[in-house]
Chains A and B, each alone.
Chain A
Amino acid sequence: MIKHILKIIWNQRRSNVWIFMELLLVVAILWVMMDSLYVDIRTYRTPLGFDITNVYKVNFGKMSPDIPGYVPDELHQSSDGEDLIRLVDNLRQNPQVEEASLFYAACPYSWNTSWNSLIQAEADTAQKANVFQYFRVQPAYYDVFRFTDQEGHPLRPIVEQHTGEIVVTADMERDFWNGQPGLGRQVRWSGTSTGSMTVAAVSASIRRTEYDKSVPCFYNVWRSDKDVIDVAGWAQAQNIECCIRMKDGFRAEEMETLLQQMSDRLTVNNLYVSSVKPLQEMRASFLKPRTDNLTKKCFLVGFMLVNVFFGIVGTFWLRTQYRRGELGLRAALGASRSKLKQFMNVEGLSLLFFTVPLVLIFIANVLYFDLPDTYRQPYTWWRFLATFGSALLLLAGMIWVGIWFPARRIAKMDPAESLHYE
C-alpha cells in the first residue's frame, strides 16, 4: 500500500509541493518554538526556594521638616533605625500578621540588588574572588518567605541554633567546597579584608525568578537590632525593605481595613508606613515581559496549527473532488470506506514524514551552532525527543483532523455516482 501511495503522492506533486513546503517550514519553526517552550516550562516548574503567597511588601516614608506633624529631633531620643524596629514590632503584634522581617536588597521580584565578592578563609592560595548576589536579612526573613535547607526543614531554627553571620545556598556550597559540607566554615569578604565570618547554615538552592536558573548567592544575617540600626544609618531607614506574612486565610481585600484599624500604630516619630503591596502583584509586573513573551510564543504555535489545518482541509478537499473518479473506481472494486479514509490519512501523514530528514538537517545545524538555550536546561536526548516528537505529534493530529472533513465526504459518496465522473 505504501508504495502505491508514494506513487500517488508523486503524481500529485504539483499540488502536494505547496503543502509539503508549508509542513517543512512549520515543522522546523514548531520545533524551535517547542524547544524554547520546553526550556521555559521546565525551568518554571522547578522549585523556587521560597514562597510568596500571603506575603506583602511594606514601604516606608519619612516626613520632611516642612510637614505639619514633623517631630523635631529635640523631642525624641531614638534614631530612625530604632523607630523602624518599633514600627515593625507594631506590625508583628497585629494578630493577623504571622511574621514580619526587615532586610536590605533582598526583596524577591525587585530590581534592588546587592553584589559582593566572597572567598574561603581557609584556603591560603590566592583565589579568584567571584562576585555573588547577597542579601542582608533578619532571621525572621526565612520564616516570612518559608526558606528551607536542602532536606526541606525550615531554615530559621537552623540559623538560630548555630553561630555565624553568613548563610550560603546549596549552589554556593557546591561552588566553594565541592560537595563538602559548608556549615561552620570560615569565609571572608575579600583577600585583603581582615577577620572572617562563619557559615551558620546552608539553604536550598534559590532562583531569582521562575524563569531563571539558580546561581550561587549568600546571606548576611542581622543577628541583633544593632545591625539594623547600623544599616539604617547609611542607607536611611525608609529605604530598608520589609515584608510581612499574613496568617492563612487572609485576603488581599482586607488589607486596607487592617491598615485603617492600626493607622495610629503605623507612624513612629517621623517614620511611617506609606504603602503595602501584595508580593504577587509585584511578581506579576516583574515577570510581565517574560510571561508576555511566553504567551506570544503559544499564540504563534496556535497560528501555525490552525494554518496547517486549513491547508490540509483545503488541499485534500479539492483533491477528493478532483479524484472522485478514481476513488469511485476503488469503491466499486471493493475498497471499503474506512480503507479509502485510511488511504488519505496515510497520504497526509507521509507528506509530514517526508519533511523529517530535511528538518533533521536543519536541527543538526542549529544544534551545531548551539543556538538553543542550553544554559537553563541541558540538551539531552530526552529534550530532543520531547520537543521534536511533540512538534510532529501536534502536526500529525492536525493533519488527521484536517483529513477527517474530506474523508467524511468520500464516505457519503455513492460508487455509482462517482464512477459517473470517470
Chain B
Amino acid sequence: MFKQYFKQAIQMLKENRLTSVVSILGTALSIAMILVVILQLQIRLVGFRPESNRDRMLYIMGIRADSQDNKNRNSTAMSDGVVKECLYPLQTPEAVTAITSSKAIISLPDRQLFEEYVIKYTDPGFWKVFDFRFTAGKPFTDADFSSGLPRVVITNTLARKLFGSEDPIGKEVMIGYVPHTVTGVVEDPTRAANNAFADVWAPYTSNTNYVNGRSCGGVCGSFQGVILARSASDFEAIRSEIKQAVSRYNAAGREFVLGINFVFSRLDLALGSNDMNGGILRGWKEYLTETAPLLLFLLLVPTLNLTGVVQSSVQKRRSEMGLRKAFGATKGRLLTQVLCENLIITLIGGLIGIVLSVVLLQLCKSFLLTKETAVTFEMLFKPVLFVAALFFTLLLNLLSAGLPAIRIAREQIVDALKGKEK
C-alpha cells in the first residue's frame, strides 16, 4: 500500500515540477533556518575537542562574597585561596581546574611585538579536564605549578607565527617583560570551546597578580572553576561536597562570607544561565519562551504555503478520491494517503534542509557566532541535529497536509465524484 503511495507521490512530483520544486525548497529553507537555531544551541551544549566531556562537566562561574555586617556585597569570582580550599580538595570528581582569562602581549626576547593574545592562567588539572591534542612537548607539570615557574603552552598557530616552526620547546617568549619557557604546543582549539580557548596557557602561580589575592578579605578573585565528574550521576554528590567545603571555609570566621550559589551543568549554561550580578538559573522554560516564537514563525510561514499547495493539488484530485471512496476506501486510508504523499515532499525538503543549515551556519558564522570561531564536523553532526530535523519535518507535514487531508476524507462521495465545490 505504502509503495503505491510512494509511486503516486513521485509521479505527482514529476507532473508538477514547478510546484514540487517550490514546495521542497520552501520546506528546506524553513527546516534549515530552524536547524540553524538548534545548531547554535547544540554548539553551546554538545562536547567536542578540547571540551569533549562536556556532559560530565560542572562549572563554578562566580561566587558571592558578603561582609559579615552585610553592608558590602560582592558578586565576583574565586580567589586562589577559595580555589585551594574549596575546589582542589574535592574527592568525588575525576579532575578539577581553576581558570582565569586575560589578554597579554606576547613578544620575543630579541624583538618587541605589539599584538594582544588571549591568555589563560590555570593549573595542571586543566590538561586533565580538557583533552587538548599536543603536537609537541607536554603540559606544564605539578612541580612547575607549585614553584610558580614561568612556563607556557601555546597553540601551533602562535608557534608558527613567533618561531616559524611548530616545535619551539624550550624556547622563550616574553609576557610583559618576563621570559616564559615554552613546554608544549597544542592544536588550535575552536573559540566555541570558550572555557578552554586561549592562545597561551600559563600556571597562574607564575603571575603575582593571581596569588595570595587579598581583595574582600581574600575571598574575591578572578578564577572560575571547571569540574570533570566521573559520570553525570555524580553531579549531586559533587554539589553537596562543594557545599560542605564552603561551610568549612566560612567556619574560619573571615571578614567576608563566601557563597557558591550555582554549580552549573553544561545544559544550564547552554540554556543561558550565568553567574553575573547575582546569577540566574535558566532552564528549558526560559529558553523556550524566548526561542519558541521564532521557531513557530519559521515553521508557520512555510506551513501556510504548503497547505495552499496541498489544498490545490487535493482539490484537483477530488474525483479520484471520490472514486476510491466509492470503492470502499475508508476515511483513515485517504487521510494516510494524503499525509504520506506529502511526507515525501517534506522529507526531501528536510534532507536538503540539513545540508543547507550547515552551509548557512558556515556562511552566517560572522553574525551567528563570531568570525573567528572554527566550526568543526564534530560539533555539527550530532544526533540532536537529525532528531530535530526529523521532528520538525514531521510537524511541518502534519500541519500543512493535515487539514486538507481531513477535509477531503470527510467529503461526500457524490460531491467528490461530481467535482462540485461546496
Contacts and interface: CB of A to CB of B under 8 A. Distances in A.
Nearest to A319: B312
A417 B367 CA distance: 53
Interface stretch (B66-74, B234-242, B261-269, B301-309): B301-309
| Residue of B18, B30, B306, B308 ringed by the most chain A CB atoms within 10 A | B308
Q: Chain B's interface: helix, strand, loop or mixed, by majority?
A: helix
A311 B308 contact: yes
Q: Main SS of the interface on chain A?
A: helix
Contact of A274 (B23, B114, B312, B316): B114
Interface string B7-21: 000000000101100
B100 interface: no
A314 B367 contact: no
A317 B19 contact: yes
Given A25-B304, A405-B18, A15 B315 contact: yes
B114 A67 contact: no
Given A259-B114, A275-B115, A318 B305 contact: no
* Interface range for A: 35 or more
B297 A29 contact: yes
Contact of B305 (A291, A310, A321): A310
B194 interface: no
A248 interface: no
A321 B15 CA distance: 11
Contact of A22 (B105, B116, B304, B312): B304
Contacts of B177: 63, 67-69
Given A18-B304, A63-B177, A273-B114, A315 B367 contact: no
Interface string B270-314: 000000000000000000000000000110111011111101110
A307 interface: yes
Contacts of B33: 303
Given A318-B313, A321-B316, A256 B114 contact: yes
A19 interface: yes
B112 interface: yes
Contacts of A63: 176-177
Nearest to A406: B18
Given A66-B208, A277-B116, A318-B309, 10 more contacts: A14-B311, A15-B311, A18-B308, A19-B304, A22-B305, A22-B308, A275-B115, A306-B26, A318-B316, A321-B16
Lowest 4 CB-CB distances: which A-B pairs, in order?
A22-B304, A318-B312, A18-B308, A311-B305
Interface of B: 16, 18-19, 22-23, 25-26, 29-30, 33, 105, 111-116, 176-178, 208, 297-298, 300-302, 304-309, 311-313, 315-316, 364, 367-368, 370, 421
